[in-house]
Amino acid sequence: MHSPTETADTADTLDTAATAADADPLGRERAHLAASRAALKAMREDVESLDLRDVTGTWVSSLVLRKQVDERIKALADLAHTPLFFGRLDYLHAISEAESEGGGGERFYIGRRHVHDAGGDPMVIDWRAPVSQPFYRASRTEPLDVAKRRRFGYTGGELTAYEDENLSDPDEADSRSALLAAEIEKPRVGPMRDIVATIQPEQDEIVRADVTGTICVQGAPGTGKTAVGLHRVAYLLYAHRERLARTGTLVVGPNRSFLRYIEQVLPALGELDVAQATVQELVGHVEVRGTDSADTARLKGDARMAAVLRNAVRAGITLPTEPCVVVRGSRRWRLPAYELEQIVRELAEREIRYGAALEALPQRIAHAVLVKMEQGGEAPDDRVQDAVARNAAVKAAVKSCWPAVDPVKLVHRLLSDAAFLAAAADGILDADEQAALLWAKPPRSARTAPWSAADAVLIDEAADLVHRTPSLGHVVVDEAQDLSPMQYRAVGRRCTTGSATVLGDLAQGTTPWATGSWAEALHHLGKDGAHVEELTQGFRVPGEVIAYASRLLPAIAPGLAPATSVRDLPGSLALRHVPDGLDAAVLDACRAGLRHEGSVGLIAADARIPALAEALGAAGLPFLDPGTETTAEARLTLVPASLAKGLEYDHVVLDEPAAIVAGEPDHRTGLRRLYVALTRAVSGLAVLHTEPLPAELG
Ligand SMILES: Nc1ncnc2c1ncn2[C@@H]1O[C@H](COP(=O)(O)OP(=O)(O)OP(=O)(O)O)[C@@H](O)[C@H]1O
């Protein structure tokens, strides 16, 4: 890394004029930063000074406009701790204006957002613009026409250093970027940060993959799956803003703590309009109050349930045996049963939604009646057809052969009524499976039923059989390995006409229905054959720690390659056997963690949480819940193992691994939960145990 004095020797190859500024390249970069800041301020003031009173329009349209202007002002904020640019590219040849946000030329400053001067010329180019891509991809073997890549280092908002790679200079040796390493090792406090300055080439390929295709990323802990998924959303919103503004984008995460942890990343990248939800929130047709046994939940999440539900929804379709007689004025029009039957059969055979067919049926019947009227010498018009469709006789015919279906009531009946379930599940589920689905004591009404999370997904499937679920433009699913086939279907129907980014790690699957293979998951998502990428370079966990955790891989996910680590931190792993007085030792380890900079996570089996909370309280050590933002003052979080997924802390104190393993219904899931817990640390992991460590850890 260059300090200001060192940089004075750096010859700037592109500038020929030997001015005073050349002797002080850092000073010149600072001047560009100051000028860019001033330009951003001017851009913001321009928007702020817009007088919306002059804009004529309705009350609603002016409200919408006000909101857009407010969002634009927010997006133009100059955040004190996020530098306006983090890199510079000097090309060998001039770049066209089209590729560089109207800039053109050879030199570009790369930042989180576009900034232009009063004349409209760009001063900072958005990292997502085509001209910025070589910042992430160019290498000595493939310089992509880049002469020099410069990375900037900041301290407290001040530009303090830079680092150059002269990619087209054959004599320059390859070196690991110190700025990159410093950025990756920055202590973690607060929510997840963006990685826009340091996206790696293999990550960039995923971030910028085409919007039309679905992409699946298998990645070991800390390889940046979540980070990549969020940056992909930001990239897609830049590259396809209009299309996605119309159709919408969504990030699906495992729980609220996780969503709170990641919720700042997209706004920091200037993207405010992305929905975030858990699968449960996504399918929220009922209030979830109940739970299922692992076996029942697995069965309810099995893709065969889709076929059972389809049968159940359609169970009421009955071929008519009576004619439909419509009385209009003094005349009666009779549609014989066989004609009605033909109409119903035809609708039943067509692959349209149950509800759409229900809406079409009265019109079909009315049309057939109209034909009779014409044959009888009348000349009915469209209004007559509408009136016939609303006729009581037609309504009665529709009701008897194609009854309306309420998805909630339907699933309530399916789980309460053995005969109804048996008919729908015939040839699909065996008798034991059917028995497992039925409520032991059927609740009286759908409203009071103790719906479980899996039931809510069944209801969502039923709802989609009745009315098509609207599709979004793009959906990112994180921690996807934990989704059941029915949950994949629920997410998949929200991107039928769009695409998805599926992120996960088979080794971290901890639900009874966890994904066995990505091909299978993608099938249930409705995206067969999507491309699967594997990320193995780990950014979070130090080498020693990931090597230790990876000892579990043969037992939990035999086919997977262990992650590497970008950082070797000798001494980052400490294993401590504590024959007695575990709580006191854990408290000491937390205090030791707090003596370092950054966040401390105390991870323990869920059953251990109350005792540890009490011990922390008694010792006067304040702590947070996962998902509550850590601050410089409150840096210790007490994390139940079941909520640790996706989160990270500078220092992790891991309490009693054997209890974490024992907390799960089966040994493999227990080891997977432990694998998650072992891979949360950025700088140091202290494992404290009284009981023997699981044998698989060696
Ligand atoms: N290119 C990068 N530059 C700097 N930091 C990075 C980079 N990629 C990932 N990271 C950091 O590494 C950490 C782990 O990333 P992330 O949480 O996205 O990994 P993950 O694969 O989703 O992990 P897990 O499987 O545990 O959920 C984060 O702090 C992230 O900011």
What pLDDT, in 10s, does the model give residues 362-376? 999 999 999 999 998
* Sheet of strand 573-577: strand arrangement: 573-577, 681-689, 649-655, 600-604, 636-640
Q: Please state, as a whole number, how many other Cβ atoms lie within 10 Å of the Cβ of residue 230.
A: 30
Chosen CATH of 202-286+472-538 out of 3.40.50.970, 3.40.50.1000, 3.40.50.300, 3.40.50.720 = 3.40.50.300
The answer to whether the CB of 498 falls within 8 A of the CB of 470 is no
In angstroms, rounded to a whole number, what is the distance separating the alpha carbons of residues 273 and 251? 11
Q: What pLDDT score was predicted for residue 8?
A: 33
Confidence band, pLDDT 50/70/90 cuts, at residue 13: very low
CA distances from 35 to 31, 32, 116, 438, 680 (A): 6, 5, 10, 69, 41
Is the beta carbon of 626 within 6 A of some atom in ligand 1? no
Q: Which two tokens stand for residue 69?
A: 């202007």
In angstroms, rounded to a whole number, what is the distance separating the alpha carbons of residues 130 and 98? 9
> Nearest Cα to 543, choosing from 501, 571, 512?
571
In angstroms, rounded to a whole number, what is the distance separating the alpha carbons of residues 400 and 150? 74
Q: What pLDDT score was predicted for residue 80?
A: 60
Is the beta carbon of 672 within 6 A of some atom in ligand 1? no
Cα-Cα-Cα-Cα dihedral of 202, 203, 207, 213, to 10°? 50
Rg (CA), the chain: 31
Which of residues 6 and 335 earns the better pLDDT score?
335
Q: What is the mean pLDDT of residues 174-184?
A: 74
Burial class (CB in 10 A: 0-12, 13-18, 19+), 460: buried
**CA 227–ligand 1 middle distance (angstroms):** 6
> Nearest Cα to 304, choosing from 421, 428, 194, 185?
428
The answer to whether the CB of 79 falls within 8 A of the CB of 86 is no
Pairing of strands 105-111, 122-126: parallel
Pocket test for ligand 1, best of 223, 537, 672 (most atoms within 8 A of CB): 223
**CA 198–ligand 1 middle distance (angstroms):** 11
**CA 123–ligand 1 middle distance (angstroms):** 30
Atom of ligand 1 nearest to the CA of 229: 18
In angstroms, rounded to a whole number, what is the distance separating the alpha carbons of residues 62 and 666? 58
Confidence band, pLDDT 50/70/90 cuts, at residue 181: confident
Is the beta carbon of 226 within 6 A of some atom in ligand 1? yes
**CA 192–ligand 1 middle distance (angstroms):** 9
Which residue has the least CA distance to atom 9 on ligand 1?
224
- pLDDT tens column, 609-646: 999 999 999 999 999 998 787 777 789 999 999 999 98
**CA 567–ligand 1 middle distance (angstroms):** 13
Q: What pLDDT score was predicted for residue 357?
A: 96
Is the beta carbon of 509 within 6 A of some atom in ligand 1? no
Q: What pLDDT score was predicted for residue 257?
A: 85
Atom of ligand 1 nearest to the CA of 193: 31
Q: Which two tokens stand for residue 84?
A: 């306006």
Is the beta carbon of 540 within 6 A of some atom in ligand 1? yes
497 contacts: CB under 8 Å, gap ≥ 6 = 247, 471
**CA 351–ligand 1 middle distance (angstroms):** 43
**CA 186–ligand 1 middle distance (angstroms):** 13
Is the beta carbon of 199 within 6 A of some atom in ligand 1? yes
Confidence band, pLDDT 50/70/90 cuts, at residue 10: very low
Which of residues 6 and 691 earns the better pLDDT score?
691
Q: What pLDDT score was predicted for residue 544?
A: 95
> Nearest Cα to 262, choosing from 320, 202, 315, 190?
190
**CA 225–ligand 1 middle distance (angstroms):** 6
- pLDDT tens column, 72-110: 777 777 666 678 999 999 999 988 887 777 777 889 999
Write down the mean pLDDT value for the chain.
90
Is 57's pLDDT higher than 70?
no
Residue 41 carries which DSSP code?
H
* Cα end-to-end span (Å), the chain: 41
**CA 224–ligand 1 middle distance (angstroms):** 3
- pLDDT tens column, 184-233: 777 666 678 888 988 999 999 999 999 889 999 999 999 999 999 999 99
Q: Is 291 annotated as a binding residue?
A: no
Is the beta carbon of 223 within 6 A of some atom in ligand 1? yes
Going from N- to C-terminal start, the domains of the chain cover 4-185, 202-286+472-538, 324-401, 553-697
| DSSP H helical ranges for 240-353 | 241-247, 256-262, 265-268, 279-282, 294-300, 304-314, 337-349
Residue with tokens 């009531």: 409
Residue 676 carries which DSSP code?
H
Chosen CATH of 553-697 out of 1.20.1630.10, 3.40.50.620, 3.30.540.10, 3.40.50.300 = 3.40.50.300
Is the beta carbon of 224 within 6 A of some atom in ligand 1? yes
| Percent over 90 (pLDDT), the chain | 70
The answer to whether the CB of 543 falls within 8 A of the CB of 567 is yes
- Crossing angle of helices 25-48 and 59-75, in 10° steps, is 170
Q: What pLDDT score was predicted for residue 329?
A: 87
- At residue 376's C-alpha, the angle toward residues 374 and 379, to 5°, is 35
In angstroms, rounded to a whole number, what is the distance separating the alpha carbons of residues 668 and 670? 5
Q: Is 219 annotated as a binding residue?
A: yes
Q: What pLDDT score was predicted for residue 17?
A: 43
Is the beta carbon of 253 within 6 A of some atom in ligand 1? no
Q: Is 222 annotated as a binding residue?
A: yes
Q: What pLDDT score was predicted for residue 279?
A: 95
- pLDDT tens column, 327-343: 988 899 999 999 999 99
Is the beta carbon of 459 within 6 A of some atom in ligand 1? no
Q: Do domains 202-286+472-538 and 553-697 have the same CATH topology?
A: yes
Is the beta carbon of 675 within 6 A of some atom in ligand 1? no
**CA 572–ligand 1 middle distance (angstroms):** 18
Q: Is 221 annotated as a binding residue?
A: yes
Q: What pLDDT score was predicted for residue 55?
A: 60
Q: What pLDDT score was predicted for residue 15?
A: 43
In angstroms, rounded to a whole number, what is the distance separating the alpha carbons of residues 167 and 173? 10
User: 305 φ, ψ to 5°?
Assistant: -60, -25
The answer to whether the CB of 84 falls within 8 A of the CB of 111 is yes
Q: What pLDDT score was predicted for residue 65?
A: 76
- pLDDT tens column, 391-441: 999 999 999 999 999 999 999 999 999 999 999 999 999 999 999 999 999
In angstroms, rounded to a whole number, what is the distance separating the alpha carbons of residues 593 and 652? 8
Q: Which two tokens stand for residue 515?
A: 């994904």
| Percent over 70 (pLDDT), the chain | 94
In angstroms, rounded to a whole number, what is the distance separating the alpha carbons of residues 356 and 79? 50
Pocket test for ligand 1, best of 179, 263, 648 (most atoms within 8 A of CB): 648
Q: Is 226 annotated as a binding residue?
A: yes
Query: What is the three-class DSSP state of 146?
Result: strand
- pLDDT tens column, 109-159: 999 989 999 888 899 999 999 999 999 999 888 999 999 999 998 887 789
> Nearest Cα to 500, choosing from 522, 523, 474, 482?
474
pTM for the whole structure: 0.89
Is the beta carbon of 563 within 6 A of some atom in ligand 1? no
Pairing of strands 146-155, 85-95: antiparallel
Which residue has the least CA distance to atom 18 on ligand 1?
224
Is the beta carbon of 221 within 6 A of some atom in ligand 1? yes
The answer to whether the CB of 353 falls within 8 A of the CB of 386 is no
Which residue has the least CA distance to atom 4 on ligand 1?
184
The answer to whether the CB of 294 falls within 8 A of the CB of 484 is no
Atom of ligand 1 nearest to the CA of 183: 4
Residue 441 carries which DSSP code?
S
The answer to whether the CB of 509 falls within 8 A of the CB of 515 is yes
Is the beta carbon of 225 within 6 A of some atom in ligand 1? yes
| DSSP H helical ranges for 328-353 | 337-349
Is the beta carbon of 599 within 6 A of some atom in ligand 1? no
Q: What pLDDT score was predicted for residue 188?
A: 66
Interface confidence: ipTM more than 0.95: yes
Question: How far, rounded to the nearest angstrom, does the alpha carbon of residue 559 sit from its chain's CA centroid?
Answer: 25
Residue 23 carries which DSSP code?
G
* Sheet of strand 249-252: strand arrangement: 275-277, 249-252, 474-477, 499-504, 215-219, 531-535
Is 6's pLDDT higher than 50?
no
List residues bridging with 121 in a β-sheet.
Answer: none
Is the beta carbon of 222 within 6 A of some atom in ligand 1? yes
> Nearest Cα to 83, choosing from 45, 130, 127, 42?
127
Q: Is 20 annotated as a binding residue?
A: no
- pLDDT tens column, 452-500: 999 999 999 999 999 999 999 999 999 999 999 999 999 999 999 999 9
Render 573-596 in DSSP notation, one character per residue: EEEEE-SS-HHHHHHHHHHHHHTS
Confidence band, pLDDT 50/70/90 cuts, at residue 68: confident
Q: What pLDDT score was predicted for residue 64?
A: 76
Pocket test for ligand 1, best of 127, 188, 200, 539 (most atoms within 8 A of CB): 539
Q: Which two tokens stand for residue 246?
A: 């119309």
The answer to whether the CB of 84 falls within 8 A of the CB of 101 is no
Q: Is the dihedral of CA 636, 639, 643, 648 positive or negative?
A: positive
Residue 196 carries which DSSP code?
T
Is 387's pLDDT higher than 90?
yes
- At residue 272's C-alpha, the angle toward residues 268 and 274, to 5°, is 115
